[in-house]
Structure 1
Amino acid sequence: MPRSAVSDSQRMSFRIKPADKAVILRATQLAGAAGITDFVLRTVLDASREIIERNDRIILSERD
């Protein structure tokens, strides 16, 4: 069951492996992002919107 939308700003925290963090930090630098939070938020939001759009899209066959 989906959770309801968050109505205010909240902190999210999670643990990641050092090697994974190093990859994210490197990508942050290569992307020229303002910081890791900006990079992660932008990347996750882009991926989330794409997943939602793909899920909400109805593809009709020629017969339909």
Structure 2
Amino acid sequence: MRRNVISMPFLLGTAAAMPVLAQERRDAVVEGTMPFTQDVLIEGLEGPWEVTWGTDATPAA
């Protein structure tokens, strides 16, 4: 029982610190040289469910 009381705060502290330690430092991020462009591919849809994903080929009979 005493071992669990000692190890539980260490385990919780480690679990809480992991997301913070997994972050990249601001000075480690390199800005790209290529500019970002945003293009509109299709307009006038009511929602994303109107887009059919997949190949344009018709299924074989």
Q: Does TM-score exceed 0.5, indicating one fold?
A: no
For CA contacts below 8 A with separation 6 or more, give which structure has more relative contact order: 1
Pick the structure with greater CA Rg: 2
Q: TM-score, normalised by structure 1?
A: 0.33
Q: Higher helix fraction: Structure 1 or Structure 2?
A: 1
Q: TM-score, normalised by structure 2?
A: 0.34
